[in-house]
Structure 1
Amino acid sequence: MVLLKPFKPPLLSRRPSGSANSNASDASASKPERDDEAPSAAKRRRVDEESDGKADGDWVRRSKVVVRPASSSGFRKPLLGPANTGGVTTPSESEQRGEDGTPEGYYLVLWRKPTAKKHKTWDGDGVLAVSSGYAHLQDVSGRDLGKTTWNSPLLPGSTLSVGGKDVEVDAAISRADFMAGKPFLGGGTKITTPISTTKTSSANAKAFAPHKPLAPTKPLPSPSAPNTKATKSQFKDPLLNKTVMPRPTSSAVPQARHDPSAPGALVMKRPAVAPKGRQLVDVVVDPILSRQMREHQREGVKFLYECVMGMRPFAGEGAILADEMGLGKTLQTIALVWTLLKQNPVYEDGPVIKKALIVCPVTLINNWRKEFRKWLGLERIGVFVAEDKKTRLTDFTMGKSYNVMIVGYEKLRTIHEDLKKGAGVDIVIADEGHRLKTAQNKSALAIRALNTERRIILSGTPIQNDLSEFFVMVDFVNPGLLGKYATFKREFEGPILKSRQPGAHPKDVEKGRARSEELAALTGQFILRRTADILAKYLPPKTEYVVFCRPTSVQASVYRSVLSSPVFSAVLGSPEASLQLINILKKVCNSPSLLGRIPTESANSKENNTEDPSAQRTIATLLSSIPGSLLKSPGSSAKLQVLDSLLHHLRTSHPSDKIVLVSNYTATLDLLATLLTSLSYPFVRLDGSTSASKRHSTVEHFNRTPASSCFAFLLSAKAGGMGLNLVGASRLVLFDVDWNPSTDLQAMARIHRDGQRRACRIYRLVTAGALDEKIFQRQVAKRGLADEIVDAKANVAAFSREELRDLFRLDEGGGCRTHEALGCECGGSGVVPLDEEEEVFEKAAEDVERDTETIVPTSDRATDDEDFPDLSELLKNRPALVKANEVDMKEQERRIREQRSPATGSGGGKKGGKAKMRTLMQYTHLDASRIRGADEEELDIEALVDDEVLRDLLREDGNRIDFVFSKTWS
């Protein structure tokens, strides 16, 4: 047993000079230490020779002689860490101080539960936030693990106990990165570590390392089959099947498929590196496509190509093309697919993809087929359309004649398993991809089952509903980039929504803004969004008119009857019944005669939107309280009267113009069809009952037929509000409004598209003072947030009882409630003071600057009294300063809530409404009564309203137009 013990050299001690107890020290130091005495200390880090060893209890190395200080007990004190001379950040640099003076810092850590194991392991990675005297521990999924009081600085290697768990600090991160939530996004973002350390980085640090672009580090794959000729010439021994021999480098310069130096050539970005022994070649878009493309479309193709080829700095090969309607998303997609099908950046390799799948609504299948035929013809590419049971799917999966397949979302659910056979699918393009907004969407699950990494979403409208839908779309194109939804909801969705609440704490506002900016920066690498403003130089001008129609006496009576019904309060108590009540009031805004159809409709009707029999009975009881004579009164709809006059003036003064009439309800389309029939105006109709085979022919007939043969097009916003090109018409009437602004924007974009040659005019009819106007206000508030990542959309069923009551209130006081909510001082003259807000801000800035110049330290100013301004004159017209103990905090909070409340009636002031509906300040506001009244001579109506049809309508006696908002894009 003695032989197995380690050898211990004799210890030498240096006698301290001048020590009183030198003899005792010598005796103690010279006496060898026995094994049965105090246990030896654990292994410690070796100390550099340069250490001076003056600290008591340190091991000291001098001239290669180890000296151990004397100790009466036989134990030595713990070693102190070596002097940090390698540029390691000191606590003063890494630790910040909060407002309360306590240390503040953020760290990547390792954590584990307490264990008595000899070889301890860590349970996971985490994030430690130290602030306000507490250390708060979370794992990388954002789950809280505990907190403890802590007021000491931390460095890499520091250990502590938090929530019953052992924690070791791995690295410090910046406060900005923590507030942005980068530790919870995995490898998708770069984290700034202000502390440099010689400690070996753990898996936790590696997990948060910045993601490197795929192109520089991951060369494009080599061909799967080896070069047999090269193999036979170099070796005689048999090779393994997986052995791939490098091809001999050719001295010839690689030739691109199309000339990259030709004028107008669209050349794609090259990979940073080439596979070993291979050469790169330029990928050039086919000139038959590139010469037809506009500049923004060329940039869009480059963007998509870099995304699907892994050349952009994010972990994935997907993209979202979110251009507004009419910008040519279809052409950009066709150019990308055609390029990938025919070319590869690695010289002498096969094409990047062999099979492409385009998934779209069934109503757009023929449109896609037509676009491929238009740009590439029938001889260049084979397009397979799966639209009926007679088609053989093996023609696409097994054959070589078809490279592109077009299929509807519903059809894909039944054939996705068969698509895996054969060569498989190399890229998937989802048109109108905002349909894939839930993780359980069957179409999205079918596409995920194809195991295709390259995925593209096309959507003409940005994400508008909530962050959960945003997460689903991002996770669809680039799976795992944002982590798991539970983490995303806890660390991003929650803080962002919390920061937008009225009266949110400044720290919550800062955190929410940082998280929102981080998401915008990360997703902006693969989301491309352009607005229709760039079409101004390509298309004729477009003018939008928001026409506020004063309700008729019959409409007001029916509206009041619904609100005064004894079952009204019961209806508000049920979410299903509340939706029914909203549908009823929307029908009243369109025409009271539409209510006569509701009792006979099915309880499961889509327009009723309920399956609750009790709610249906409640609605039937509510309708029974309305006098039947009111529902059958002719001319009871204000919007229908305005539309009747508009069609008459249009047909009289501009007989060659055609018009599109859009509604969300088939019953309303029936009403409009009756009006057109009574006026003997020829029209066509497209709604949910129109078969897919007839849709294309209906649109072509309308576009090519003169107005004398086909004057109007009745269109359902839900069934045909997207993907259709109705450029044969130059005017469009949006008869009702929808909660979702994208629905209306999609419908209004049907006429202002490529191919349009006339100036477009769009009329949005809104019933003033009723539910119509309040829906419009909320819609505008959402459009104002469209540039942000998420729109905090208020769900109808999530309204409080008071908000619902205000939503249903009928305002009959005259004027325009929307204009009043804006706080605009134009008086309805049609001349909007566009600089009003800027003047207010400039004046406020001047006031603040003047105050700042006034209130400065006296050491920076002259001491003479004449150098100081007269404060009484300066503050004459300003609110007086109030002592802190005299401030009414409740009154102050009430004013803040008023300023932040929405402009939909729930006590919101002018400032709050103006902030919410800022986009309406870009419109001109015209009070129609000024045109009909004595002030008409003072107004230059031709300059205010450039539409002759609308001018004639406004001059007409007895018209029901109260206010008009207008804006022109040119």
Structure 2
Amino acid sequence: MKPFKAPALVSRQPPNGPHHVSTGEPPAKKRRISSNDSTDDRIEAIAAAADVLKRPKPVNRFQAPAQRKPLNVVENPSGSLQSPASANASEGYFTVLWRKFTMKKNKTWDGDGVLSVSGGYASLKDISGKEMGRTACKGPLLVGSELSVGGKEIEVESMITKEDFLAGRPFLGNMKKQQPPAPSLKEIDEVNRVTNKAQANHEKIAQAQKDKLNVEVAMSKASRAGFKAPLLNNTVQVPKKDSIVPIPRHNPTAEGALVMKRPKSVPKGKQIVDVVIDPILTKNLREHQRAGVAFMYECVMGMKDYDGEGAILADEMGLGKTLQTIALLWTLLKQNPVYQDAPVIKKALIVCPVTLIENWRKEFRKWLGAERVGVFVAENNKTRLTDFTMGKSYSVMIIGYEKLRMVQADLQKGAGIDIVIADEGHRLKTAQNKSALAIKSLNTERRIILSGTPIQNDLAEFYTMVDFVNPGLLNKYTTFKREFETPILKAQQPGATAKDLEKGEARGLELANITGMFILRRTAEILSKYLPRKTEYVVFCRPTQAQASVYRAIIGSPTFNAALGSPAISLELINVLKKVCNSPTLLLKKSAKGEDITKAELLECIPQSLLRTPGASGKLQVLDSLLHQIRTMGDEKVVLVSNYTSTMDVLASLLTSLSYNYLRLDGSTPANKRQDLVDRFNRSPPSKDFVFLLSAKAGGTGLNLIGASRLVLFDLDWNPATDLQAMARVHRDGQKRPCFIYRMLTQGALDEKIFQRQVSKTGLADSIVDGKSGASGFSKEELRDLFTLDEGRDCQTHKLLACKCGGTGLLAPEPIDELSPARNDLASLCQDDSGFVSLDEEAPTEIIHMDYDSDGDPILPVKLKVKQQKGNKVDMRAQEAEIERRKKECIDSAGKAKMLSLMQYAHFDTSRINGKAKAEAASGEVFWGDEEPPEDGLAADTTDPLKAAIEDVALRTVLREDGARIGFVLTKTSI
């Protein structure tokens, strides 16, 4: 045993003598003296050796060292000096198994995780996205590598791409994956190989099952042959005798047949048969409706590439969501893609607002008749729920959201519910919604949401709706918030880094790709070739003197200024001012308890004579004249919509004073009488029922009021979806006349500010998320601006747009880039043919310009090439002033980017109406709706700008009346 000797830290170099210089070849071997050599040779060799030993040793004199090669350059591997190439080379992403340190003999893994290696460090997250630890990692990792991170032992299971990690796919572990093909017999090892005896036994059993199936098929064919369908229009095919090929229920080769997608596989021993939509329904389906039925069928049958059987049909109002749903349910109730199997569903549940219950029942009877399907309606306590749950007569049940909560336990009895349809399902957007919890208690996999309103609130509500139709698809909310909501919102912040932007964009794109597989959204533009045109007018009504005096008294009172610091009282102030915009007389009505104190203090500052002034509302005056013109100049009917019951009382008093017959539907109308009111109004002539007074909250969704071709929205709601739902009541399937929609608001007051907020939510941002909701998000400065009364003659909204149309009523030219007005303003300064922004003819250089997104938030800087002047030729002060001025203009225009959807409207300033046109109003108009004027000299006069801007004769006549009660009109026509 030799003693341990530590290795030398410094390698010893050999002497620099010439006889020690290595030549790169092994040294020659010394000649061996063998017994075969001669004696003389041996004597000579010994003498030579002795002579060498007698020679004196050479003196070691100084010699210059041999020239060495230069040292290799070694890069510093520190993080600050590391090159991008080397940093990317060490970057990697892996799925791993992890466990805590243990001394047990049989160790097991505690869970799955995701490991990301970047910049020499490895970060470990569990499958829910929670951070578990971080450690240094210098070397590359391979499958099977082991590492210690944050007190955990990990083992690399597989590698994933950077795209998958940025998109967050590892944290959605329930995504449907492609199943590998079944292994062939040769691929099975010897232990699991099927023996010949087992194969013979299996073939014998399969043949017996096949013979039994043929007997059952023959008996079924015989029974069908003896059955005679009592339906007059029967489209069911009768299978031929001894037919081996499966016969579908309806002919798939018929003209216009709608055949559903086939499944990829069926149980062993079964055959696939075509599922064909009943021709009775197919002949009434339009192209977009056929696509909608096929889309929902593939979703509920699990044919999409996601783990779930739910869908969201988010078509806009009037596209026929009810008919598409009926076609889907009728198909699932009668057919199955697996031949000879029972239908896909036996019981279907439709949950909707009570207002729409009768409408659903009538739609089933309209499209399928009373003899094809049994529809059970749970309206009151007289109906026995067991007739639906236990019996076989009813296959479809229609129930309201409130009633569902009371009978959810009874619905779980019997055979259970196979599919749930949630109409107006946007009300299920909160996790603690009682109706949503009641539906989830039914344990139904197939769930469909019908909603004509796109999702406009935060990502939490979006997650709740997705999780309702496809539970667990986006994992738990904590994981979704950490891995999707937070990165997406962080990327929208002004100070977001390039890494945050990359991650947020990837997560947003992945979220859109996942949800796009089961969310279908079509706009009403599809109906342009089926329905008559629709014209929308936004009418800015000037306040009366009494109305403006009341408004000024309120916002100038000490109580008002003291209440700005309290959010709760600010909401009360908003409600008070909204009443003033509708009619000051509303302040005389008894209000809710919460408003009594604030309202009483404000009323002390207002002269009571102003509140009792007749005709104190500018909007009521315009409405009075408009209804008079419509009634006297044609045979059309009007739907009058308001969001408040107290305002509906004032409107009802106006209609009574004008001797106009009307029907009223609000929250106090019994549910079983609402559809009767709708049917009566649609059938009756204008002389009997001229106006339908409708509450936007109680009956503004789902109703078909096609008996009217005019709709007046008297007041606005903070949520634009409420107004859009209400305005879609007349422009629907079955409408024969051109439709005119009037949105009335008080110019310069709170009404106009609400309208601007609506536009900012429904603009051209192409975003389904808007975190701002109503007045609760206003700062103190915003509240002061919100409550300001602008008594100028110009339209504040039009000034904010900075539109150069001049109020002529003609569409303004579109900007270069609607999504970035700041960039347009800068790029349009002096852009030459080469595309560069130039200030002079000198060499171009690059400047940094901050761009803004559709919400007014800064995004990545944009480099613009600008040609600068030489220093001796530039007036620096003038140039700095010009840059500051243009910068301010860019920022101002970027802040108004969210209102660019108003550029789709034509803007008409009523001050352009000349005196001659007003004088000619007495001559009257004889043309109505879309009728063409006669080709004579008088009618062909195009000098009047009002005729070119406003198509509606009734509104033109009101605009020409004395008093100038309308200050501005926005108009948009969809053809």
Q: TM-score scaled by structure 2?
A: 0.76
Say whether the 8 Å CA contact 2:709–2:738 is kept in structure 1: yes
**What amino acid is the match of 2:358?**
N
1:96-115 map, 5 Å: 97=84, 103-115=90-102
- Match for 2:913 among 903, 907, 931? 931
- Match for 1:419 among 408, 411, 415? 411
* Alignment deviations for residues 274-328 of structure 1 (CA, whole Å, 9 cap, x no partner): 2211111111111111101111111111111111111111110111111110100
User: Is 1:487–2:479 an aligned residue pair?
Assistant: yes
Tell me how far apart the structure 2 counterparts of residues 335 and 286 of structure 1 sit (CA, whole Å). Answer: 8
**What amino acid is the match of 2:96?**
V
- The 1:360/1:101 distance shift into structure 2, 3 A limit, reads closer
Say whether the 8 Å CA contact 1:571–1:577 is kept in structure 2: yes
Unaligned ranges ≥5, structure 2? 1-24, 28-81, 184-199, 218-242, 819-823, 846-864, 919-941
Tell me how far apart the structure 1 counterparts of residues 386 and 526 of structure 2 sit (CA, whole Å). Answer: 43
**What amino acid is the match of 1:754?**
D
Residue 74 of structure 2: aligned partner: none
User: Is 1:950–2:948 an aligned residue pair?
Assistant: no
Give the CA deviation at 1:668: 0.6
1:6-85 map, 5 Å: none
Determine helix, strand or coil for the equivalent of 2:748: coil
Residue 576 of structure 1: aligned partner: 568
* Alignment deviations for residues 325-366 of structure 1 (CA, whole Å, 9 cap, x no partner): 010000011111111111111111111111111111111110
Tell me how far apart the structure 1 counterparts of residues 770 and 544 of structure 2 sit (CA, whole Å). Answer: 35
Residue 127 of structure 2: aligned partner: 140
Indicate the larger mover: 783-792 or 929-938.
Answer: 929-938
**What amino acid is the match of 2:376?**
F
Aligned length: 796
Give the CA deviation at 1:636: 1.3
User: Is 1:341–2:333 an aligned residue pair?
Assistant: yes
Residue 646 of structure 1: aligned partner: 626
- Match for 2:641 among 656, 662, 678? 662
User: Is 1:825–2:804 an aligned residue pair?
Assistant: yes
1:280-429 map, 5 Å: 280-429=272-421
Say whether the 8 Å CA contact 1:216–1:272 is kept in structure 2: no
Give the CA deviation at 1:444: 0.8
Tell me how far apart the structure 2 counterparts of residues 810 and 957 of structure 1 sit (CA, whole Å). Answer: 24
Tell me how far apart the structure 1 counterparts of residues 870 and 758 of structure 2 sit (CA, whole Å). Answer: 39
User: Is 1:969–2:974 an aligned residue pair?
Assistant: yes
Tell me how far apart the structure 1 counterparts of residues 565 and 677 of structure 2 sit (CA, whole Å). Answer: 45
User: Is 1:634–2:614 an aligned residue pair?
Assistant: yes
Tell me how far apart the structure 1 counterparts of residues 265 and 815 of structure 2 sit (CA, whole Å). Answer: 55
Unaligned ranges ≥5, structure 1? 1-16, 20-94, 189-209, 218-233, 604-612, 858-871, 901-908
Determine helix, strand or coil for the equivalent of 2:172: helix
**What amino acid is the match of 1:827?**
G
Tell me how far apart the structure 2 counterparts of residues 930 and 623 of structure 1 sit (CA, whole Å). Answer: 39
Give the CA deviation at 1:427: 0.7
Give the CA deviation at 1:583: 1.0
* Alignment deviations for residues 641-673 of structure 1 (CA, whole Å, 9 cap, x no partner): 11111112212222x011111010011111111
Tell me how far apart the structure 1 counterparts of residues 890 and 875 of structure 2 sit (CA, whole Å). Answer: 21
- The 1:723/1:101 distance shift into structure 2, 3 A limit, reads closer
User: Is 1:767–2:749 an aligned residue pair?
Assistant: no
- The 1:110/1:882 distance shift into structure 2, 3 A limit, reads farther
User: Is 1:790–2:769 an aligned residue pair?
Assistant: yes
Determine helix, strand or coil for the equivalent of 1:358: strand
**What amino acid is the match of 1:440?**
Q
- The 1:585/1:102 distance shift into structure 2, 3 A limit, reads farther
Say whether the 8 Å CA contact 2:811–2:907 is kept in structure 1: yes
Residue 800 of structure 1: aligned partner: 779
Give the CA deviation at 1:634: 1.4
User: Is 1:536–2:528 an aligned residue pair?
Assistant: yes
Say whether the 8 Å CA contact 2:808–2:945 is kept in structure 1: no
Tell me how far apart the structure 2 counterparts of residues 848 and 246 of structure 1 sit (CA, whole Å). Answer: 80
**What amino acid is the match of 2:893?**
K
Tell me how far apart the structure 1 counterparts of residues 710 and 181 of structure 2 sit (CA, whole Å). Answer: 49
Residue 795 of structure 2: aligned partner: 816
User: Is 1:211–2:177 an aligned residue pair?
Assistant: yes
Give the CA deviation at 1:508: 2.9
1:186-335 map, 5 Å: 186-188=173-175, 211-212=177-178, 248=213, 252-335=244-327
Tell me how far apart the structure 1 counterparts of residues 887 and 182 of structure 2 sit (CA, whole Å). Answer: 52
Determine helix, strand or coil for the equivalent of 1:536: helix
Indicate the larger mover: 167-176 or 346-355.
Answer: 167-176
Tell me how far apart the structure 2 counterparts of residues 669 and 534 of structure 1 sit (CA, whole Å). Answer: 34
Say whether the 8 Å CA contact 1:96–1:103 is kept in structure 2: no
Say whether the 8 Å CA contact 2:706–2:731 is kept in structure 1: yes
Say whether the 8 Å CA contact 1:356–1:425 is kept in structure 2: yes
Residue 443 of structure 1: aligned partner: 435
Say whether the 8 Å CA contact 1:659–1:732 is kept in structure 2: yes
User: Is 1:912–2:895 an aligned residue pair?
Assistant: yes
1:537-556 map, 5 Å: 537-556=529-548
Residue 86 of structure 1: aligned partner: none
- Match for 2:160 among 159, 169, 173? 173
Tell me how far apart the structure 2 counterparts of residues 753 and 175 of structure 1 sit (CA, whole Å). Answer: 48
Residue 602 of structure 1: aligned partner: 592
- Match for 2:678 among 675, 693, 699? 699
Say whether the 8 Å CA contact 2:764–2:900 is kept in structure 1: no
Indicate the larger mover: 790-799 or 400-409.
Answer: 790-799
**What amino acid is the match of 2:607?**
P
- The 1:875/1:436 distance shift into structure 2, 3 A limit, reads same
**What amino acid is the match of 1:722?**
T
**What amino acid is the match of 1:968?**
T
Q: TM-score scaled by structure 1?
A: 0.76
Residue 866 of structure 1: aligned partner: none
Residue 721 of structure 2: aligned partner: 742
- Match for 1:127 among 90, 114, 119? 114
**What value does the CA root-mean-square deviation take over the aligned residues?**
3.6
- The 1:101/1:304 distance shift into structure 2, 3 A limit, reads closer
Tell me how far apart the structure 2 counterparts of residues 178 and 455 of structure 1 sit (CA, whole Å). Answer: 30
Say whether the 8 Å CA contact 2:843–2:868 is kept in structure 1: no
Give the CA deviation at 1:570: 3.8
- The 1:624/1:212 distance shift into structure 2, 3 A limit, reads farther
- The 1:877/1:474 distance shift into structure 2, 3 A limit, reads farther
Determine helix, strand or coil for the equivalent of 1:763: strand
Determine helix, strand or coil for the equivalent of 1:333: helix
Tell me how far apart the structure 2 counterparts of residues 622 and 99 of structure 1 sit (CA, whole Å). Answer: 70
Residue 169 of structure 2: aligned partner: 182
Residue 721 of structure 1: aligned partner: 700
Give the CA deviation at 1:795: 4.3
Tell me how far apart the structure 2 counterparts of residues 556 and 538 of structure 1 sit (CA, whole Å). Answer: 45
1:657-696 map, 5 Å: 657-696=636-675
Determine helix, strand or coil for the equivalent of 2:174: helix
Say whether the 8 Å CA contact 2:844–2:867 is kept in structure 1: no
Residue 510 of structure 1: aligned partner: 502
Tell me how far apart the structure 1 counterparts of residues 348 and 400 of structure 2 sit (CA, whole Å). Answer: 14
- The 1:114/1:820 distance shift into structure 2, 3 A limit, reads farther
Determine helix, strand or coil for the equivalent of 1:561: helix
Indicate the larger mover: 782-791 or 479-488.
Answer: 782-791
Say whether the 8 Å CA contact 1:215–1:310 is kept in structure 2: no
**What amino acid is the match of 2:630?**
L
Give the CA deviation at 1:750: 0.1
Say whether the 8 Å CA contact 1:267–1:285 is kept in structure 2: yes
Indicate the larger mover: 247-256 or 459-468.
Answer: 247-256
Tell me how far apart the structure 1 counterparts of residues 764 and 313 of structure 2 sit (CA, whole Å). Answer: 19
Tell me how far apart the structure 2 counterparts of residues 445 and 263 of structure 1 sit (CA, whole Å). Answer: 44
* Alignment deviations for residues 454-477 of structure 1 (CA, whole Å, 9 cap, x no partner): 111111111111111111111111
* Alignment deviations for residues 668-706 of structure 1 (CA, whole Å, 9 cap, x no partner): 111111111111111111100111121111111111111
